Amino acid sequence: MMGTERISIILVSEDREDLQMAGMIASVGAVSGNEVTVLVSMNALKYFLKGADDKAPAAGQMGEMLERKKAPSFKTLFEQAAELGDARIHPCSMAMDVLGVEWRDLETFMKEPMGLTKFLDDAKGGQVWSF
């Protein structure tokens, strides 16, 4: 088991591979006892709307293989990170405004909206990953 560390992930991509890797880091990091915070913004936010399809476009061969091999979806990984490891997954407040999205429109495992300033302040002193 890894030691307690802060892991912050900013997720902006709509590519399956990026979404999948971010979900894997969030899930493994949280289940291993680390403090995980994810800020979902830009092109990634649409996948976290209630009932949204999690069939993100593949950027390459690996993304296609993930689907063929029936790997757990990135959304499942984020949900497990939140439920099993207490990861905090926040929608970006600016992206919500731009898209006209309300908090009630998002998956139930999503925490309250967060701004980039707060995310960056909270990320100080820990690992920061960007996808």
pLDDT tens figures, 69-108: 989 999 999 999 999 998 999 999 999 999 999 999 999 9
Largest CA distance in the chain: 41
| Tokens read off for 61 | 């061969």
pTM of structure: 0.94
pLDDT tens figures, 6-62: 999 999 999 999 999 999 999 999 999 999 999 999 999 999 999 998 889 999 999
Q: How far apart are CA 51 and CA 105, in angstroms?
A: 9
Q: How far apart are CA 58 and CA 8, in angstroms?
A: 24
- The domain locations on the chain are 6-130
CATH 3.40.50.800 fits 6-130, yes or no: no
